[in-house]
Chains A and B, each alone.
Chain A
């Protein structure tokens, strides 16, 4: 038998073993992730957007809603054909609202997950720590933060904030209204780090230009959990108390303020950041009745909401009170999270304008984003129309001032875009790509 076989199979033929080796090698090559992605890049491989999310740490309440908004926006974009016909795939990494981890997450999303862009950061200290990594790895970094860091010109050409107005513009736009309607003598209470300092540095001159005056500035360490001890520093002649607090202790802040003042209080003007993800009807917050807040996007349904706004709220899953549909206690971060929705549509718009194919086209994507002039109000930008400054990589929109009335926030004033414009301090387009 053996002899017969050897006659039939020539000795030079491929042995079974080497044949298997060859097949295995070919299989490995075909199955290699790089190979498959390359083969499909022209057609249907997903666009990978790395989402730097505050899933844990002090930003966790924001992170949860940023994630829900992101999921809703991606669903809508993919249902309508994705970006250039390619679906979006979101790859989420938790940064623990921690600057050091934030920088690591950007690197991981860029190198390990091979994301096309990174997106979604909120807390300004995380943005500032992560931005240099994005610049080094030359990966476009779209933040949804409202801090005055991108627009300051101090980050790099790969950082953008195209979905939400920065603090400097917000306070510049609102100062005249505060001075004209609430009072001239303002005491500011703010967290003692970059975000609070932006408020201090830009609201103070803005209110002065509007005929008012900041008579005291009270910084509070961001880890503070009790506030009564700071209140004696508020001058008695204060007409307006300007407060912007973040973190889990904000409710305590408002409650203690109420206990301290009782009914004999100055006018209050605050940033809703103080109460994002917190029910305005929580026990102890009765004190806020009649006070005013900044809102990027209104939490409560307003009488004049556009169709686009209604569609956006339904898609994200929030009810008339800005809480999750089905769970009235799960209050959203409505004033900020619209920025995620709008930023994802900006990424789509810029990628389509750049004819974006893959990471090799990142520089083209940066230039295409810089070429954008503004956005029309509509389903992609439900918060309203906006102007985009390609040199500063920053967007400017309308701001809302809302009054607490009967346990709801009602918009009483909406600023014009031009109210919030200021002289640019930088020009990213001068930097090399």
Chain B
């Protein structure tokens, strides 16, 4: 295979990674930006999304697209509800104290993971892709569904962007992010905003998981990788900066695809981690973050 096709394949693979990563990391970034807490259980919401997608898809018979669409609707709702409950029952009682919430979300991570192992089991289970299309390039074949994932992610990210910048809900969220006390003074129900944002962050992870589950299978340990990569993306992009998150996801995803293919996957991970270290040293607020006041 020549250099050109090789690069094309690497870029396509990188874009798929970037698409899913952007959605997942956006959820993490949103929660941090608005609530100022680090949600270590974010990867488990991702996993839960995939597991529930499998559950829903296996209950719906007939065309696999029906099961997939059902999963795309039900799974984020259920995961959002779980996140909402854990915010009400745990995080709020800790008064969103940064240290306590880290420990609490670590606990949440184990709870969700072990619950999945107990009720879902240790197997990796696939969800059928909504359509089976294989695109034959002159040099290699590629999954049509993967291209769909890239497009779907772009659409979803645009929707989130519009909601955040053009709607009243987005305005309230941004207001809470910028100044919690002032928002409260303007009668914004800050705690309800927090609960909503936490649920929304988890739902984004769940949507990403539903998109990925026809490519990778649902498995109870699948949450770790997205969590680590999301942290890398969010740190490089700037905690709380949505634009930064998207740019960083694109950089990490595509460079991971290309470096992994031309050199080695381990090198790709090393470079990503080194980038985090460099960003932390030279630009601690991230590429697009604003310095803390």
Interface residues of A (CB under 8 A from B): 56-58, 60-61, 63-64, 220-221, 223-226, 228-232, 236, 248-252, 255-256, 259-262, 277-278, 282-284, 330-331
Binds A, one of B140-148, B174-182, B197-205, B238-246: B140-148
Take A232-B1, A252-B217, A259-B143 as given contacts and tell me if A225 and B225 are in contact as well, using a CB distance cutoff of 8 Å. yes
Take A261-B141, A284-B126 as given contacts and tell me if A248 and B9 are in contact as well, using a CB distance cutoff of 8 Å. no
C-alpha gap A221/B220 in the complex (Å): 19
**B266 close to A58 (CB less than 8 A):** no
Binds A, one of B31-39, B73-81, B116-124: B116-124
In the assembled complex, which residues on chain B have CB atoms less than 8 Å from the CB atom of A278?
123-124
Q: Looking at the assembled complex, report how far the CB atom of A281 sits from the nearest CB atom of chain B, in whole angstroms.
A: 11
**B136 close to A56 (CB less than 8 A):** no
Main secondary structure on B side of the interface with A: mixed
Interface residues of B (CB under 8 A from A): 1, 5-6, 9-10, 13, 16-17, 64, 117, 121-124, 126, 128-129, 134, 136, 140-143, 215-217, 219-222, 225, 257, 260-261, 265-266
C-alpha gap A330/B120 in the complex (Å): 11
C-alpha gap A228/B17 in the complex (Å): 12
**A262 close to B134 (CB less than 8 A):** yes
**B117 close to A277 (CB less than 8 A):** no
Of all chain A residues, the one with the shortest Cβ separation from B261 is A229
**A232 close to B143 (CB less than 8 A):** no
**B13 close to A260 (CB less than 8 A):** no
Q: Can you name 4 extra interface pairs (CB under 8 A) apart from A60-B122, A229-B257?
A: A226-B216, A230-B261, A232-B261, A248-B217
**B219 close to A248 (CB less than 8 A):** yes
In the assembled complex, which residues on chain A have CB atoms less than 8 Å from the CB atom of B261?
229-230, 232
**B222 close to A283 (CB less than 8 A):** no
In the assembled complex, which residues on chain A have CB atoms less than 8 Å from the CB atom of B129?
283-284
**B64 close to A283 (CB less than 8 A):** yes
In the assembled complex, which residues on chain B have CB atoms less than 8 Å from the CB atom of A60?
117, 121-122, 220
C-alpha gap A61/B219 in the complex (Å): 11
**B215 close to A223 (CB less than 8 A):** no
**B9 close to A259 (CB less than 8 A):** no
**B216 close to A252 (CB less than 8 A):** yes
Question: Contact partner of A259 among B124, B142, B219, B257, CB < 8 A?
Answer: B142
**A224 close to B122 (CB less than 8 A):** no
**B216 close to A249 (CB less than 8 A):** yes
**B123 close to A283 (CB less than 8 A):** no
Take A225-B216, A226-B13, A229-B10 as given contacts and tell me if A262 and B141 are in contact as well, using a CB distance cutoff of 8 Å. yes
28 A-B pairs within 8 Å (CB atoms) are namely A58-B221, A61-B121, A61-B123, A64-B122, A226-B215, A226-B216, A228-B142, A229-B257, A229-B260, A229-B261, A232-B5, A232-B140, A248-B123, A248-B222, A249-B216, A252-B216, A255-B126, A256-B143, A260-B140, A260-B142, A262-B136, A278-B124, A282-B126, A283-B64, A283-B128, A283-B129, A284-B128, A330-B123
C-alpha gap A60/B118 in the complex (Å): 11
**A229 close to B9 (CB less than 8 A):** yes
In the assembled complex, which residues on chain A have CB atoms less than 8 Å from the CB atom of B216?
225-226, 249, 252
Take A60-B122, A259-B142, A283-B129 as given contacts and tell me if A228 and B9 are in contact as well, using a CB distance cutoff of 8 Å. yes
Of all chain A residues, the one with the shortest Cβ separation from B260 is A229
**B141 close to A260 (CB less than 8 A):** yes
C-alpha gap A262/B140 in the complex (Å): 9
Take A58-B221, A252-B216, A262-B134 as given contacts and tell me if A229 and B265 are in contact as well, using a CB distance cutoff of 8 Å. yes
